Chain A
Amino acid sequence: MVTAAKTGVSTYATPTDLDLVITRVVDAPRRLVFQAWTDPRHIPQWLLGPEGWSMPVCEIDLRAGGSWRYVWRKADGAEMAMSGTVRDVVPPERLVTTERWGPEWPETINTVVFTESGGLTTITLTVRYPSKEARDAALGTGMKEGMEQSFARLDRLVRTLA
């Protein structure tokens, strides 16, 4: 089904009010991709965002009910942390976790599904937010489209100022 698989591009979609779906096709068997995604020896090698960050703490108890915690650090000492629990894990197909950035931040439920076809693996990460506002902010759709006119005008304001 995934015939037009294209590597090197991430797509962002909002199929429901609460979900943000990020899709990426990688050139590797899903067995390897699952390892890279779930093994603390591999995760800090790539889940780092823009240049300049490292991940000094990467703990994941990979079983239903287990907890996980990642801490990122920048050269200037700035840190950010993310943690949650593992809800479900089916190697090498599926991982469901909860994720939280801090006490003030809404918890999301993240489902990542790995499907393999012709040696390529499609990574489908669905992030479910507790509200549409939180989701729209995350993707920036609240600042881009589909909202009422007043918000569209506010958007222009933000863009002018930002």
Chain B
Amino acid sequence: MRAATDTLSTTLSALADPTRRAILLRLAQGSATVKELAAPFEISGPAVSKHLRVLERAGLIQRGREAQWRPRTLNAEPLREVAEWAVEFRRFWDASYARLDAYLEHLKQQETHHGHGR
């Protein structure tokens, strides 16, 4: 819940597209060149490049240094952030509600001692 929210939004919109998710899955097996990444898709090279740029901006992939091939590599850090945020959301509410239970007990006792006065 306390992850940098703008990073999280960027990650989520990058993940919202099935082609981009497929690219990430391919990269999870190991780095690949643009040509290799484009091979399974029936879309143009420029379209694939566009998807790669979105993933790169989201910090989900990196470009290799080898000038000629420039293989892309997966960077899993933003994915970890998504997973952590999801867990944090539940943790936030579970912890708050547990505290609310105790606080309501406290309020009820106060009323018993002091009367409602309403």
Are A48 and B86 CB-contacts (below 8 A) given A35-B107, A161-B76?
no
In the bound assembly, the distance between CA atoms of A80 and B2 in angstroms comes to 7
Footprint of A on B, CB under 8 Å? 1-2, 5-6, 8-10, 12-13, 15-16, 18, 21-22, 24-25, 28, 76, 79-80, 82-87, 89-105, 107-108, 111
Q: How many residues of A contact B (CB 8 A)?
A: 48
- Given A150-B25, A158-B83, A36:B103 Cβ within 8 A: yes
Q: Is A49 a contact of B83 with CB atoms below 8 Å? A: no
B2–A78 CB distance below 8 A? yes
CB nearest neighbor in B for A100: B5
User: Does A140 sit within 8 A of B, measured CB to CB?
Assistant: yes
The CA-CA distance from A7 to B98 in the complex, in Å, is 10
Report, nearest first, the 3 A-B pairs whose CB atoms are least far apart.
A140-B86, A104-B6, A49-B92
Residues of B within 8 A of A137 (CB): 8, 12, 82, 85-86
Q: Which residues of B are found within 8 Å of A133, using beta-carbon distances?
A: 12-13, 15-16
Q: Let me know if A159 and B83 touch, CB within 8 A.
A: yes
Contact digits for A128-146, partner B, Cβ 8 Å, 1 yes 0 no: 0001011001111011000
Query: Which residues in A have their C-beta under 8 angstroms from that of B93?
Result: 10, 22
CB pair A33–B5 under 8 Å, yes or no, is no
Do residues A45 and B99 form an inter-chain contact, with CB atoms below 8 A?
yes
13 contacts between A and B (CB under 8 A): A7-B101, A28-B104, A28-B108, A36-B104, A47-B100, A50-B92, A104-B5, A137-B85, A138-B89, A158-B83, A161-B76, A161-B80, A162-B80
